[in-house]
Amino acid sequence: MRIATWNVNSITARLPRLLAWLESTGTDVLCIQETKSTAEQFPAAQLRELGYESAVNADGRWNGVALLSRVGLEDVVVGLPGGPDFGGVQEPRAVSATCGPLRLWSVYVPNGREVAHDHYTYKLAWFEALKDAVAEDAAGARPFAVLGDFNVAPTDDDVWDPALFEGATHVTPAERAALAALRETGLSDVMPRPLKYDHPFTFWDYRELGFPKNKGMRIDLVYGNKPFTGAVSDAYVDRDARKGKGASDHAPVVVDLDL
């Protein structure tokens, strides 16, 4: 069974590439972030033609998440239970569902913007709510994972130049502590250690030739519980999906499971 997570940076702009990628990779379940569409605009019909059901949480702004599955889609929960508001709005940053033998979450953690910004406080509160929401499933016997754009680089090895990020979001002790607290519910990073290759970044800025120069970050993660990680046969970043004109600034993270 193959699952993946991908911040597509606009489902509308990336749809042809997405459809081709799904067909070529044989992915069974895909978690999507940053749809930048409303639920009504989401291309569920085109995806259904490829055999995928869709669960969508989107309001047309810069966020939005989805789960695509061709192995079943049941017990869908739209939103983050107990999640905080920002500016009086419950942003569409989470959706979860049972996909065949798996329980999965697709999440798009708030960026945080700047350490002194209200959005940073919101980010930490959002992490706390996520930890509480997943704790029961994380400790359970069913294979379970949280996938998505976490907007945190877990270690200094996960950014291309740690010195350049000093004092900035994505690498602060508080953000990394929030990520560690999430893992303490019973989850762990599925990316193999030691890594198969150096710096498997998942995000490269469009500016300043970020991708050709490999000036990237690893912020798209897959955190699974023991039944999930015990079934992992491979995990990798599909860098090829980041290449060429019209690509998202993120690459998919792909996980193969023997279930």
149 in active site: yes
Length of the chain: 259
CB 220 within 8 A of CB 150: yes
- Phi/psi of residue 7, each to 5°? -80, 105
Is 34 labeled as ligand-binding? yes
| Tokens describing residue 167 | 């004092």
Tell me which amino acid residue 76 is. V
Residue 132 backbone phi and psi in degrees, to 5: -65, -40
223 is catalytic: no
Q: Is 208 annotated as a binding residue?
A: no
Q: Does the annotation flag 151 for ligand binding?
A: yes
What are the tokens at 24? 């070529």
Is 250 a catalytic site residue?
yes
Catalytic residue among 52, 108, 120, 122: 108
- Alpha helices in 26-102, H assignment, sequence order: 44-49
In the set 28, 52, 170, 250, the catalytic residue is 250
Please indicate if the annotation marks 250 as binding a ligand: yes
| 157 known member of a binding site | no
Catalytic member of 137, 149, 158, 220: 149
Here the tokens at position 44 are 């569920």
Annotated binding residue 249: yes
Mind telling me the catalytic residues? 108, 149, 250
Positions at the binding site: 7, 34, 149, 151, 249-250
Positions at the binding site for Mg(2+): 7, 34, 149, 151, 249-250
